[in-house]
Amino acid sequence: MEQNQAVGPEFDLAFIKNNQQIVLRQFKGETIGDRVITEEDLRHIPLQALLAHDFQNLADLQGVIPDLGRHYPVRTQEETGLSLENFEQLGALDAQKVVRKINSQWVTSANLNLLENLFPIITRLKGLWPNDRNTFFEELWYLLRANLGARTLIMLYNGISESNEKLVKIKVEGEVLPNSTAAAEVDLALWSHYEAEMGPNFSNINYQAGKGDWVSSASIMQSPVLIMAKIYQYNPLQKALLKSLFDGLSHA
């Protein structure tokens, strides 16, 4: 059974006015902030969706930020029924409904893409594993974020320190772009907390639908990975696809 979590009290939506101006609306409870941003700002603001009048508006930005849809859901007025004027008048409750609908569509699209291209995706990722571990996990981060519709996504895994070639924990996290750093003490504590529940197969350790907190573990080529996310929904299709993905990544 699908379990849904209410949209969080803080979220951001944006609408492309033209190729130089983008209207950003920041919802914080009942408080709504409005400001105009540029395309460069889109790289750093964790939007729940980017809206536009039509595909031409989106095409104008593709040259600046390729693969926009990889970072967050992108929708046109035809798809949402929202004009710029409607968008600028959205209240918090209506905005939450928009976010939930768009997020659900984004997740469904990502799930179908993974279902149709599972073996090529596994093959491509496994090709990165031996010699480019950072790129492997960044690509995996994008894949998981879309298939989960995650607002935030953190992965912890065993890596090799470049300075002394010792085994260390690496953290990949982000809201728009993945960023790899050495795990901090709090990350190591989380690893220790869940370590007893981490096994050789993909496993859901914890999911609190009310809060959207999701914790799972997997093993890639016998190397354990801890995954933590904030999500809106988690259904049997997502679970089955992730299991198939990690099963494929776990075998030579």
pLDDT in tens, 45-99: 999 999 998 877 777 776 656 677 788 899 999 999 999 999 999 999 999 999 9
Torsion of CA 139, 203, 150, 137, to 10 degrees: -20
pLDDT of 155 reads 98
Q: Mean pLDDT, to the nearest integer, of 160-184?
A: 87
Q: Mean pLDDT, to the nearest integer, of 35-54?
A: 89
- pTM value is 0.90
Mean pLDDT of the chain: 90
Distant-in-sequence, close-in-space partners of 13: CB < 8 Å, separation ≥ 6: 24, 25, 27, 47, 48, 49, 51, 87, 90, 95, 98, 99
Distant-in-sequence, close-in-space partners of 146: CB < 8 Å, separation ≥ 6: 70, 106, 107, 110
pLDDT in tens, 136-171: 999 999 999 999 999 999 999 998 877 767 889 999
User: pLDDT band for position 230 (50/70/90)?
Assistant: very high
pLDDT of 142 reads 96
pLDDT of 1 reads 44
Residue 92 structure tokens: 């918090």
Q: Mean pLDDT, to the nearest integer, of 171-182?
A: 92
The share of the chain scoring above pLDDT 90, in percent, equals 72
Residue bearing the bigger pLDDT, 40 or 87: 87
Residue 29 structure tokens: 């409870």
pLDDT of 161 reads 73
pLDDT in tens, 88-128: 999 999 999 999 999 999 999 999 999 999 999 999 999 99
pLDDT of 64 reads 59
Residue bearing the bigger pLDDT, 68 or 7: 68
Q: H helices within 72-132, ranges in order?
A: 77-80, 84-88, 92-116, 118-128
